[in-house]
Chain A
């Protein structure tokens, strides 16, 4: 039984990293951000979300932080997650890899538009 791998980075994990790049979020926040940034195409279910979070935590790509003090009632028990520097680095390298792919796609005229 192999440990779950992050190479290649699963798209759910990448989306989570991207969602956390802007601000620290709790689980539901991540889910909503991911839905937004994918125009509603990726709605992470709780199982996928939290198993991805777990994997990312184990790889120290994200970390869990104490609940924010300004959190209102009902949010007290929620755990918030923050991107680590390693996570940011990995997200960037993944984005660059995708950018490279995009360039290749455009050079092959599969995709129109300007080079990024």
Chain B
């Protein structure tokens, strides 16, 4: 009994002592036990052992092996003091392993849940109001200069100059605010200032002073543009006749303000053509003669995009291995190809994918095609009413190494989902490749090419000939209906539930 207890107590000594003298110490206890029998001698033995233990254990731990002290004495710089010279025991390894695992798990948990994600806008916005040396701040200022109605008017068109028609329009998207690149279409501050300086007739107008002469001018130019640009000359002629007819009949007199007049003309054209891609636009602030990008804009735009990680928010893996990617725009492929590829690569091992387009105001069709390519194992036609059908209308599927082609896809939409994001949503829905969850999308009518009519009016005319292969009309003006309608705020939760139940069925 005593021997067993002492064997256990021996563990208190450093291993080097146990190795050298453990057996002998035990033998000594055995000898004393053998020789000292009876209650009192045994009591004395244990008092001896315990007091000895109390004194010698601490001393042993302070005792340094000679070779170590010799090493420490030498002047060879700092050295580590090894207290234990035996290899790590199983218990120590197990304990260390468990601790390391716990640290890794809690760290990843914190990354996923505990650490609040900083919205991209917060990264860019601080520049607002600061010195105008960043594109985002200049974009913000532009936005502030333009009146509400201008914003409304111009936002709804691609506004690209006719010269660049049908080239991929950079029709959306700034890192800070999805609308910012649309400032390409807007008067630059310098232009605006010079216009303001000249006062008449090119001042920022108020809605009241829409006179008959201007109405006449707008109608005439709209007619001219229709005849020149509209794809079907016969329908163009009918629309032109209708516009002139209404003007003559005085139907337009009811329109008191610019926006009302633009809406009226739009209705008149659509009544004849039933073409929702036609639109007359009004801008309170004067429209520039041509809307070229300000010098250096492209470079600043690229830089801001890169700084904002191309508006890609970090890929998250939700429970049940559901990949989640929030895309706040479809940024220019020439700048953001690698970012997009990296994001898709980190989604690659997900069992289902959720694309969150609830704050996506659109962007480059090239990016829509690039991301869609990952969702198919063969080239798939993606109908885009804004572009003629070309080789680029097919996805470059399959993407080498990609594993998402057969995974469930969910797209979250809201009333603020616009343009390129609607293109993405519409085609994936029509191809039955994705389940749309959320609200009906915004219904951007920016499928046409913008033509300037005068300082405050423009017309958007669709000039492409791509034929919609689906029975359902595209999103222009009406938006894309989700498959599962829930409030935008609840869309993620719903999509996760759907994805989970789908995964469980498998």
Residue pair A47, B57 in contact (C-beta under 8 Å): yes
Residue pair B17, A27 in contact (C-beta under 8 Å): no
Q: Does B341 contact A (CB under 8 A)?
A: no
Residue pair B13, A79 in contact (C-beta under 8 Å): no
**Which residues of chain A are near B66, meaning CB under 8 Å?**
3, 58
Residues A47 and B69 in contact in the complex (CB < 8 Å), given A3-B63, A28-B32, A54-B20: no
Q: Does B335 contact A (CB under 8 A)?
A: no
| A116, B104: Cα distance in complex, Å | 74
Residue pair A79, B24 in contact (C-beta under 8 Å): yes
Residue pair A54, B21 in contact (C-beta under 8 Å): yes
Q: Count the A residues whose beta carbon is within 8 Å of the partner chain — how many? A: 24
Residue pair B28, A27 in contact (C-beta under 8 Å): yes
6 nearest A-B residue pairs (beta carbon)? A45-B52, A47-B56, A46-B25, A50-B21, A28-B31, A1-B64
**Nearest CB of A to B261, in Å:** 93
Residue pair A51, B59 in contact (C-beta under 8 Å): yes
Residues facing B in A9-38 (CB within 8 A) are 26-28, 31
Residue pair B69, A77 in contact (C-beta under 8 Å): no
**Which residues of chain B are near A26, meaning CB under 8 Å?**
24
Q: Does B27 contact A (CB under 8 A)?
A: yes
**Which residues of chain B are near A79, meaning CB under 8 Å?**
24
Residue pair A45, B48 in contact (C-beta under 8 Å): yes
Q: Does A2 contact B (CB under 8 A)?
A: yes
B429-461, CB under 8 A of A: which get 1 and which 0?
A: 000000000000000000000000000000000
Residues A45 and B53 in contact in the complex (CB < 8 Å), given A28-B28, A28-B32, A79-B24: yes
Residue pair A78, B24 in contact (C-beta under 8 Å): yes
| A78, B23: Cα distance in complex, Å | 9
Contacts A/B (CB < 8 Å), 18 sampled: A1-B64, A1-B69, A2-B69, A3-B63, A3-B69, A27-B27, A28-B31, A45-B49, A46-B24, A46-B25, A46-B52, A48-B56, A50-B17, A50-B24, A51-B59, A53-B21, A54-B63, A77-B27
Residues A1 and B25 in contact in the complex (CB < 8 Å), given A45-B48, A45-B53, A47-B13: no
Q: A51 is contacted by which of B17, B28, B32, B64 (Cβ under 8 Å)?
A: B17
Q: Does A103 contact B (CB under 8 A)?
A: no
Identify the B interface with A (CB < 8 A): 6, 13, 17, 20-21, 23-29, 31-32, 44, 48-49, 51-53, 55-57, 59-60, 62-64, 66, 69, 81
State the main secondary structure of chain B at its contact with A: helix
Identify the A interface with B (CB < 8 A): 1-4, 26-28, 31, 43-51, 53-55, 58, 77-79
**Which residues of chain B are near A53, meaning CB under 8 Å?**
21
**Which residues of chain B are near A58, meaning CB under 8 Å?**
66
Task: Name B52's closest neighbour in chain A (CB-CB).
Answer: A45
| A28, B35: Cα distance in complex, Å | 11
Residue pair B63, A51 in contact (C-beta under 8 Å): yes
Q: B59 is contacted by which of A4, A27, A78 (Cβ under 8 Å)?
A: A4
| A102, B474: Cα distance in complex, Å | 115
| A51, B59: Cα distance in complex, Å | 9
Residue pair B56, A78 in contact (C-beta under 8 Å): no
**Which residues of chain B are near A31, meaning CB under 8 Å?**
28, 32
Q: B25 is contacted by which of A2, A3, A47, A77 (Cβ under 8 Å)?
A: A47
Residue pair A77, B21 in contact (C-beta under 8 Å): no
**Which residues of chain B are near A49, meaning CB under 8 Å?**
25, 28
